[in-house]
Chain A
Amino acid sequence: MVPVSYYLILSAILFSIGVGAFLIKRNIITIFMSIELMLNAVNLSFVAFANYWNQINHQFSGQIFVFFVMVVAAAEAAVGLAIIIALFRTRKTLNVDQVDLMKL
C-alpha cells in the first residue's frame, strides 16, 4: 500500500506547480487554470487524509470537503470567466501584463 506521505508530497508538488504557473504565465485563462490546479492539489490532500483518518477513527469528512470544493470551484469558474469576458470587451487582450491601468 502506498503510504499517505507520498500523496501529500505529490499534492505539495502540484500545489507548487500551480503557484509557479500563476506567477509565470501571462494568459489570463492559463493563470486561471493554475488556480484550478492548486485547488485540485488540495483535493488530493483531502482525499489522502480522509483515507488515513478513516482507518483510525472513521472520520472521512475530508472526502465531503472535496465535493464542496469542486462545486465551489465550478461556481468560481463561472464568475471568473464572466469577468474575463467583461475585461476582454473593454481591453481586447488576455495578456495579464497589459491589465495594469491602475498602479501605485
Chain B
Amino acid sequence: MNGSMTVLRILPEIIFTLTGVAIMLIDPVMPKQASRKPLGWLAAFGALAALIASLYQYSLPVGTAYFGVVQTDAFSVFFHVLISGIILVSALVVLDAVHPDTESLGELFALMSFGAVGMLLMTSGVELLLVFIGLEISSISTYILAGFRRKTAKSPESALKYFLLGSFATAFFLYGIALTYGATGTTRITDIAAGLATSHALPIAVVGLAFIVIGLAFKVSAAPFHLWTPDVYEGAPSPIVGLMSTAPKAAAFAVLLRIAYEAFPQLQNHWMPLLWILAAVSMTIGNLGALRQKNVKRMLAYSSIAHAGYLLVAFTVLSTDGVAAASFYAVAYAVMNVGIFAVISHAGGYEDRLTLIEDYKGLAYRSPLLGGVMAFFLLSLIGIPFTGGFFGKFYVFAAAIHSGMIWLAIIGLLNSGIAVFYYLRVLTATYTKPMDSSPVLNVPRVSAPLCLAMALTVAVTLVLGIIPGRVLSMARHAAETFPVFSTQQTPVPGTASAVMAAINTKAR
C-alpha cells in the first residue's frame, strides 16, 4: 500500500488536529481585546474541510492503515460524515451564542476540534487500543467543555459529575477490554471473532463483553447508566450540550455496533437480551423522567435517554436492517437534537438566560423564526411524518417487528406516545403570548451563523423525512461492511462470517 493512501485514511482526523493546533497557536498571539470569533470561523471551516474529506473517503477502497489499526469502510465513513457535520453545526451555534469577549474562547474551539479527532478515531478504529484512546480524547475534551463557564456554580459541578462518573465507567470499559484480550489473545476487533471460536475461556469473554457494554452504555446514557445526563446537561453551556448530546454518542454507538457485530457475533445470544433490557429501561425511564421536568435542558436530557433507548431497539434486530436502522436513527436524532439546541443556545444564550419551560413562553411572538424552527424540531422529536424523527423511528420499529421483537416495539411505541406530552408542553409554551416581564423579550437578533446552522439542520431533517432513500442506502451500505452480513463472498473458515453461517444453520 502506498504512503499517500495511508494518510488519506485518517484525513479528517488530520484536518481536525491541524485546525485545533492552529487555533491554539493563533490564540495567544492575538491582541488581548480582539474578538476570538474568527477562531470559531476557523474551527467551522476546519469542520467543513473534514466533512468534505470524509465524503471523499467514500471513494477510497476498503482497507486498513497504520499497522491495521484504522479502517476506512462504508461504516466508519458514514459516521465520519455525521460527526464532522455535527461539529460544523456546533461551531456555528457556538459562534452565535457566545459573546466575543467570553473567557478563553479560543480554547473552546480548539477543544471542539480535538474532541472530534477522538470521536472520528473511535468510529474508524478496529483496534481496541485506538478505540480506547479515541474515547478518552473525546471524553476529556467534553469534560472540559462541560465545565467551561467556570465562574458559575453549576458548570464546574456538571464537569465534575461528568468527569468522575465518566472515568468510573471508562474503567469498566477498560476492564472489559482486558478480559476480552485474556479470553481471545487479541485486542483487534476484526480478530476477536476468530479468537472466540478457538477460545477456552468463553466465560471470561462474556464478562468482558458485559463490561464493555457497561462502559459504552454510560457514554450513550442508556439507563440505568444515565444518571449523569440531566445534571451535566443542565450545568453545561447550551451550545456545548448540543454537541455532547450527539457526536460522542454517535461515536459510542458506532463502537458498540462494531464490537457487537464484528467482534462478538457468536455471542449475540448474550448481548442481545442485555441490550433488549437496556433499550426497554432507557425508553421508559427517559420518557417518564422527562414528563415532570421544568427545566428545558433537563427535559431534553431525559429525552436523549429515551432516544438512546429507541436506538438500542435497533441493536436487537440482528440483521443488516438492524445496523442500518441504528445508523440512520443516529443521524436523525443527532440532526434534530443539534437543531433544537441551536435554538435553545440562541434564545437562552451561553449564559442560560432561559432555563425553565415557562421562560420560553412567547418565543414564537418574539421571534417567529426561532419559534418556528423550535416547533419543527419538537415535532420531529415527537416523530411527525415528513421529518427525520418519524422515519427513523419507523425504520427502527419496523425492523424490530420484522425480526420478531414485537414486545420491545410495543414498549417503544407506547413510550413515544408518552413523549408527546412533554414535547407539546414546550411547544405550547413557545406559542403562548408573552407577558411584559417575560425573559424572552431579551432574545437577541438571529445572526448569520445561526441561520446557517438552522438551515442546515432543518434541511437535513426534512431530507431524512421526505427523501430518505439516499441516506438509507448509505446506512445499509455501512451495515454491509460487517463480515457477518456480507453475502457476496463465501465465508472463509474461522472468520466471523463462517461462524455466523454455522450458527444460522444450527438454528434452523
Contacts and interface: CB of A to CB of B under 8 A. Distances in A.
Contact of A101 (B140, B150, B154, B168): B154
Contacts of A83: 143-144, 147, 156, 159-160, 163
Interface residues of B, number: 38
A101 B181 contact: no
Interface stretch (B169-177, B246-254, B305-313, B433-441): B169-177
A10 interface: no
A20 interface: no
B129 A65 contact: yes
B154 A42 contact: no
B228 to A, nearest CB: 10
A99 B162 CA distance: 12
Interface in A36-91: 38-39, 41-42, 45-46, 48-49, 52-53, 56-57, 59, 61-62, 64-65, 68-69, 72, 75-76, 79-80, 82-84, 86-87, 89-91
Contacts of B182: 8, 45, 48-49, 52
Interface stretch (B5-13, B75-83, B230-238): B230-238
Contact of B164 (A35, A56, A62): A35
Given A18-B171, A83-B143, A86-B156, A42 B163 contact: no
Contacts of A72: 132-133, 136
Contacts of B147: 83, 86-87
Contacts, number: 123
A102 interface: yes
B153 interface: yes
B181 A46 contact: yes
B150 A69 contact: no
B319 interface: no
B27 interface: no
B187 interface: yes
Contacts of B234: 102
Nearest 7 Cβ contacts at the A-B interface: A38-B171, A49-B182, A87-B156, A45-B178, A86-B150, A86-B156, A102-B231
12 contacts: A31-B164, A35-B168, A35-B171, A52-B182, A65-B178, A65-B187, A68-B132, A75-B140, A82-B144, A86-B156, A86-B159, A87-B159
Given A39-B171, A68-B132, A83-B163, 4 more contacts: A38-B171, A62-B181, A72-B136, A102-B158
Interface of A: 8, 15, 18-19, 22, 28, 31-32, 35, 38-39, 41-42, 45-46, 48-49, 52-53, 56-57, 59, 61-62, 64-65, 68-69, 72, 75-76, 79-80, 82-84, 86-87, 89-91, 96, 99, 101-104
